[in-house]
Amino acid sequence: MNPLLEVLSRQEIEAIHRATLEVLESAGMEFRHPEALALLRGGGARVEGSRVYFNRAQLTQALETAPERFLLEARNPGRSVWIGGATTVFAPPAGCVYVQDLGAVRRQAVLKDYLNLVRLIHQSPHFDTNGGGLVIPEIPGFSEQETFALLILAGHWYSDKPQMGLTLEGEIVRTSLEVSEIIFQRRPGCYLLGTVNPDSPLIYSEKMLESLLLYARAGQGLILAPCSMAMATSPTTLAGTLVQNNAEILAGVVLTQLVNPGTPVVYGNTSTISDMKTMSIALGAPELSLLVGAVNQLARYYNLPSRTGGALTDAKSLDFQAGMESVLSMVSTVASQTNVVLHSAGILDSFLTISLEKLVLDEEIGGMARRFRQGLNVNEDTLAVAEICSRGPGGHFLDTNHTLNHFRQEFWHPRLCDRQAYVPQRDYRSLLGERAHKIWQDRIAAYLRPALPAGVEEELLDYYQRKFHRQPEFV
């Protein structure tokens, strides 16, 4: 049996659905973009100013055209991934502005950090996608548009895994799409997965809507992901937060399908609670994991792929708190069968900071979570009755064919966790951090760039030269 975390009954899911319909019909949503308003009005919604009121028929029609599963393509076809169904795709961290080196205080991210992350993630067996806003580096003399263009180009340049897209504002989205068109030589397909975040409660901003419209017109994948904080930007109750977030997501689904029926859309959520003492976001809270379980159930209810969770923590360093919170977050994410796990490694300080050592340690946590999700395999062979009887009381099973046939699949094998005998001279407080540091350093040293076709490489460099009148910093 495979363990599947479900925190809502069918009756509770349907109660959330009914409450969501009431919110969409009575309170409506703010859409702060004229084209979005025109599309929604043409699709049958009641529009008053920038407020849009939805009806049930609109929602039903949108859910019929949104795909249950889609292929996110990589420039190396062998690394393309399916989004949806029973598949869990591990995606990289995004949006961090600081980096914390081993044993040091955090510092502002620079371009070298971004390039190192792309190289590390490219080689990692844990991550299924790469690119996007892994960190937001400070590059002296660069505009915001050129900074993000450089990040987009670097993701494709240094990795042949599927790419996460950027959805910060229109010009950056256009650059993401144009670079991807060069990589894939303008053939049809879904080769970017971007994220649009509603402004909770119940608002889609002009910038997010501009990104949504551009991605949907191009047939690229979109994660719709509220980031509300219960008690601050959503109701204090988790059930109320789910109703509000559900309304925000479903309203976005309707718009994507009006723009381009069949646009791949992912039911996402990264909401949690506000800390009562500080009023800051609490990523390490157990309530986040309860929301993760509920969101995945709602996604399945609507036959949409899901995105939740990650290896999340509010801790400021590689300490017990970081491990404790990251394990709870990751295990609940995988056990509730999330389809896309953004921030699946490396996060510290409530999304603000990334640690390369934690990135490697979280790969270990991801392996543990995947093994837990596999559950127990019970059949005539695994029950091992003949083995038990043949060895009898006092025997052992080290040298049996049954052991040889099963131990690799049955057991999870750690790379970092210490299972050796105690050594008095060893400093166990720093052991895992030092091991993780060596792993990422060795990975950088062993990195080999997956070459682009010569014509594509030349076209990319020419594109950047024409746009910014210089060659990319990393070439």
Q: Residue 1: its pLDDT value, please?
A: 66
For residue 70, the enclosing domain spans 63-374
Which residues 6+ apart lie within 8 Å of 18 measured at CB?
none
Same domain, yes or no: 150 and 240: yes
Same domain, yes or no: 78 and 191: yes
In a domain, 87, yes or no: yes
Same domain, yes or no: 77 and 221: yes
C-alpha dist (Å) from residue 21 to 118, 249, 250, 255: 42, 12, 10, 16
Q: Residue 103: its pLDDT value, please?
A: 85
Same domain, yes or no: 37 and 80: no
What span, in angstroms and rounded, lies between the C-alpha atoms of 50 and 34? 8
Tokens of 2: 């495979």
pLDDT per position in the chain (475 positions), as tens?
Answer: 688 999 999 999 999 999 999 999 999 999 999 999 999 999 999 999 999 999 999 999 999 999 999 999 999 999 999 999 999 999 999 999 999 999 889 999 999 999 999 999 999 999 999 999 999 999 999 999 999 999 999 999 999 999 999 998 899 999 999 999 999 999 999 999 999 999 999 999 999 999 999 999 999 999 999 999 999 999 999 999 999 999 999 999 999 999 999 999 999 999 999 998 888 999 999 999 999 999 999 999 999 999 999 999 999 999 999 999 999 999 999 999 999 999 999 999 999 999 999 999 999 999 999 999 999 999 999 999 999 999 999 999 999 999 999 999 899 999 889 899 999 988 888 999 999 999 999 999 999 999 999 999 999 999 999 999 999 987 6
Same domain, yes or no: 160 and 246: yes
Provide the 3-class DSSP secondary structure of residue 408: helix
Q: Please give the tally of structural domains in the chain.
A: 2
Same domain, yes or no: 53 and 67: no
C-alpha dist (Å) from residue 345 to 118, 172, 189, 311, 408: 13, 25, 28, 5, 25
In a domain, 445, yes or no: no
In a domain, 381, yes or no: no
Same domain, yes or no: 359 and 212: yes
What span, in angstroms and rounded, lies between the C-alpha atoms of 285 and 273? 7
In a domain, 441, yes or no: no
Single-letter code of the amino acid located at 126: H
In a domain, 24, yes or no: yes
Q: Residue 168: its pLDDT value, please?
A: 86
